[in-house]
Amino acid sequence: MKKSIIYTCTGDAGTTSLVGGKRVKKNNIRLEAYGTVDELNSYVGLLASAQDIPDDTASLFGFIQNKLFNIGAYLATDNPDGDAELKGLTQADTRRLETAIDTIDEQLPQLNNFVLPGGSRESALAHVCRTVCRRCERCIINLSETVTVDTEVMRFVNRLSDFFFVFARYNNIRNNIEEIFWNKDCQL
């Protein structure tokens, strides 16, 4: 059996194919949306590979990565009639994220200030995931202004950024690393 070809040269002129075969420019809003989902998935993989991640969170990261891949596939599908079925993402998946957020948040002290990214490496990576996730959300909203996007996609991505925020806080606190709070009067 012959190996698949990694490079096809079909994108050399700045176009690529959506699922379904339609060719579009590589700067198409749809590509920006699913490309940013792919970027987020890569950062989640980096965070998941950290040495100090609890086992239950590591399995949640696997769940998140698979759901992000499902979202990317959905967004990469040409959907001219607005009737593409969202496969592999349900309201129960979003509720699973909400449960994880609530469980983690119960263990955190009340927040009275804005938190700056940092502390442990894992917490800093979680903040990177959070900010890329927010960019994903903006890209998906932009796409939804031109084509139909299932609202569950937006709900899941919105909750996901909240998850990364609470995880960043949790990781610092469980490792006895002081949270870094914004000080508007800070003089360096």
Q: How many CB atoms lie within 10 A of CB 54?
A: 12
Higher per-residue confidence, 66 vs 185: 66
Nearest to 35 by CA among 131, 124, 132: 132
- pLDDT tier for residue 181 given thresholds of 50, 70 and 90: confident
pLDDT at 180: 77
- pLDDT tier for residue 22 given thresholds of 50, 70 and 90: confident
Beta strands 15-17; 23-25: pairing state: antiparallel
pLDDT tens, 53-104? 877 788 899 999 999 999 999 998 887 566 667 888 999 999 999 999 999 9
What are 25's strand-pairing partners?
Answer: 15
pLDDT at 9: 59
Set out the domains of the chain in order of their start, with CATH numbers: 25-78+85-174 (1.20.1200.10)
pLDDT at 17 over 80: no
- Stated pTM of the model: 0.88
DSSP string of 33-91, one letter each residue: HHHHHHHHHHHHHHHHTSTT--HHHHHHHHHHHHHHHHHHHHHTB--TTS-----S--H
pLDDT tens, 130-146? 999 999 999 999 999 99
pLDDT at 16: 62
In the structure encoding, which two tokens stand for residue 149, read together?
């996007």
Higher per-residue confidence, 167 vs 51: 167
In the structure encoding, which two tokens stand for residue 79, read together?
């959907």
